[in-house]
Amino acid sequence: MEGARQARAHVARLDLSAAQVAVLDGQAHTARALWNLLHEYCTFRQGRLATVKDCDTAIRQARREIDWMGQLPAQAAQAVLKTYWQAWANFFDPGHPAGRPTFKSRSRSRLAVDVPQARDLQVTRVNRRWGAVSLPKVGRVRFRWTRDLPGVTRGGPAGRITGARLVKDAFGWQIVFRTERQVPAPAAHPGPGVGVDRGVTVALALSDGTMREHGAWLRDGERQRLRRLENKSARQRAARPPRQPASRRLARTYDRIARLRATAKRRAVDWQHRTTTELARTYGVVVVEDLQITTMVRSATGTIDNPGRNVRQKAGLNRSIAGEAWGRTVTLLEYKIRDRGGLVVKVPARWTSQTCHRCGHRDPAARDGIRYACVNPGCGWAGHADTNAAINIRNAAGTVVSGRGDLGAARSAKRQPPRAA
């Protein structure tokens, strides 16, 4: 059976000293400044457009003439250039949703440094809990060992580490290993097909009548603490003189808010990973709506001449949709099902929540909150609205928009006629 190359990422927490944190912070800020210099050099250049060679020459000259540019390793600087040009390629690609590259703000951009050469890492396992890695201009650093890395431990998974990326979040610095393995092509998934409706009241409703739900990402005490910190930051901002940088007290408040929000995100991602893994193991074909999430969460404020209506209610709905991270759920589901020989199919989202799956009658008045009651006198079906939508999504597999996974399964899904429950 012919194999395939499988690229994956593994995140591990770094154990750094205060001096090492300062070094990595300096490298990340230098990488951000280099991005901004490249953007200025390319967009404000007079005459012909700059080429990759022009940018590379400019970077080498800057590293010789500007002292602080030397904080960033040479390979990491080349990675910034490569990422910048890839951003332009994504922008000019008609099928890619990326926008035009812009300058990176110090306060809003994420601190990150690339280590593109795997030979520089020299990854070893120290003991059961810790591994060690070499970082350029930082030295030998320990990281939390939670999973065997390809090509590192004897008897571990076959493969290799192709590089890494250092990323800082509210909990500190982490290392993201890029790994590559040669795996056999998966056999066709024997599981049944299912439609999945993504919602706010119910996170995931399946066409077989089951649901996947979760509680609040933060506990009651954590939510109250977050509310107090947000009120405190508002008072501190009001007391700050205009056009003055944030005080250390305000910065500490921001850090505490960021840590609570990062805690909520970690719990959300953990639930999504566990839930999508369970779905990928159980079902061979998962049908979801092809949602335009960016359009759905647009503000309803409107303009001065044409102000919006129910702005506060729409803002609350937008926050709920963003908190569910529907796009990330499908992204996780796609690669997990593909690894198991299954398929994720996207179908048009129109009318799925207003149509009765049994008789096909469509009426917006049939849905009242989470309850759906068909108004067709000859049908009269009643049940959970999200389950009804999930069945309609499963039945719409014959009008597939796109499929991720086995191409043969995608073609058979396109030929599949709509089915009644």
Per domain, the residue ranges of the chain are 3-17+113-184, 19-109, 193-213+277-415
Q: Edge-to-edge strands of the sheet including 343-347?
A: 211-212, 204-206, 193-198, 285-289, 343-347, 402-405
pLDDT value at 112 more than 50: yes
Beta strands of 44-198 (E only): which ranges?
112-115, 124-125, 130-135, 139-144, 160-169, 172-184, 193-198
Closest to 138 (Cα-Cα) out of 157, 120, 119: 120
**What mean pLDDT comes out for the span 359-388?**
89
Q: What is the dihedral of CA 40, 45, 50, 56, to 10 degrees?
A: -50
Q: How many CB atoms lie within 10 A of CB 376?
A: 15
pLDDT value at 365 more than 90: no
pLDDT at 36: 95
Q: What distance lies between CA 66 and its chain's CA centroid? A: 36
Task: Round to whole Å and give the CA distance between 417 and 407.
Answer: 18
Place of tokens 């350029």: 136
**What mean pLDDT comes out for the span 359-375?**
89
pLDDT at 303: 67
**What mean pLDDT comes out for the span 201-225?**
94
Asked if 117 and 82 count as a contact pair (C-beta separation under 8 A), the reply is no
pLDDT at 380: 85
pLDDT value at 306 more than 50: yes
pLDDT at 46: 64
pLDDT single digits (tens) 260-273: 999 999 999 999 99
pLDDT at 144: 96
pLDDT single digits (tens) 136-193: 999 999 999 998 898 887 777 788 999 999 999 999 999 999 999 888 888 899 999 9
DSSP reduced 3-state for 269:
helix
Confidence band of 411 (pLDDT split at 50, 70, 90) = very low
Closest to 175 (Cα-Cα) out of 164, 190, 191: 164
pLDDT at 182: 87
Tokens of 382: 């009643």
pLDDT single digits (tens) 376-386: 888 889 999 99
Least confident of 21-35, 226-240, 257-271, 389-403: 389-403
Kindly give, in sequence order, each residue whose CB lies less than 8 Å from that of residue 167, ignoring residues fewer than 6 positions away. Answer: 110, 111, 112, 173, 174, 175, 176
Task: Round to whole Å and give the CA distance between 232 and 252.
Answer: 11
Closest to 136 (Cα-Cα) out of 121, 124, 126: 121
Confidence band of 405 (pLDDT split at 50, 70, 90) = low
Tokens of 35: 């991005």
How confident is the prediction for the chain on average, in pLDDT? 88
Least confident of 30-34, 176-180, 240-244, 278-282: 240-244
pLDDT at 14: 97
DSSP reduced 3-state for 228:
helix
**What mean pLDDT comes out for the span 293-315?**
78
**What mean pLDDT comes out for the span 393-408?**
65
Identify the H or E element spanning 9. strand 3-15
Q: How many CB atoms lie within 10 A of CB 257?
A: 17
pLDDT value at 418 more than 70: no
pLDDT value at 2 more than 70: no
Strand pairing class (211-212; 204-206)? antiparallel
pLDDT single digits (tens) 27-64: 999 999 999 999 999 887 766 678 889 899 999 999 99
pLDDT value at 419 more than 70: no
pLDDT at 151: 86
Asked if 292 and 201 count as a contact pair (C-beta separation under 8 A), the reply is no
Task: Round to whole Å and give the CA distance between 292 and 351.
Answer: 14
pLDDT single digits (tens) 73-94: 999 999 999 999 999 999 999 9
Task: Round to whole Å and give the CA distance between 123 and 178.
Answer: 12
**What mean pLDDT comes out for the span 204-223?**
94
The string of DSSP codes covering 289-343 is E---HHHHT----B-SSSB-SSHHHHHHHHHHHHHHTHHHHHHHHHHHHHHTT-E
